[in-house]
Amino acid sequence: MQMPDDLALWLQDQLLGLDHEDYGLIYILSGNLASIPQDSAGRWQLGVDVIYRVLTCDLVKVNDLGATSDQASFLHSIRTLNPYGKSGEGYWHATLIWGTERLSKLIDAYFPPRGARDDKLNRSFIEALEQLFAENGVPWSETPQLPVMPASVAPR
């Protein structure tokens, strides 16, 4: 399945932002994406699925400051700790995420240097990303890879 253009542009922007940078995990939930409103259960689900895919493909690394003991525990935490509520807000802000060397190489293969980039969708980059997801068993789809398990999905 091909990613819709608005999602593709959003994901492209998020990954470009993680190239040689680290941010709080909440960063993955930010950005301009009109089809999935900020502070919504849908945005949380999108974030969990993107994190799962990019971790599986070794495009990002995560450090939750020792709050979890392994990747399975980390994934359980992001599925159950609502980033928009008191249960998970601190976790999502304190946990760090950054791009790996593999992400940098992928970006370098499809984009000019930082100062020469525009804000347009790079379809070749997205196609390579979709292929990488599929090769790693986490293909793009509208069905959640790891459904969130909130006690309450209502944003604060």
Tell me, what's the pLDDT at 87?
82
Q: At 94, is the secondary structure helix, strand, or coil?
A: helix
**CA nearest to 35, candidates 7, 15, 11:** 7
Tell me, what's the pLDDT at 153?
44
Q: To 10 degrees, the CA torsion angle through 149, 152, 155, 156?
A: -130
- Supply the pTM of this predicted model: 0.92
Return the domain boundaries, the chain: 5-135
CA distance to 1, 76, 82, 91, 133, per residue, from 66 (Å): 36, 14, 19, 11, 27
Tell me, what's the pLDDT at 114?
82
Tell me, what's the pLDDT at 31?
93
- State which residues of the chain have pLDDT below 70: 1, 151-156
Tell me, what's the pLDDT at 152?
46
Tokens of 122: 């790079």
Q: What is the pLDDT of residues 120-130, one digit of tens each?
A: 999 999 999 99
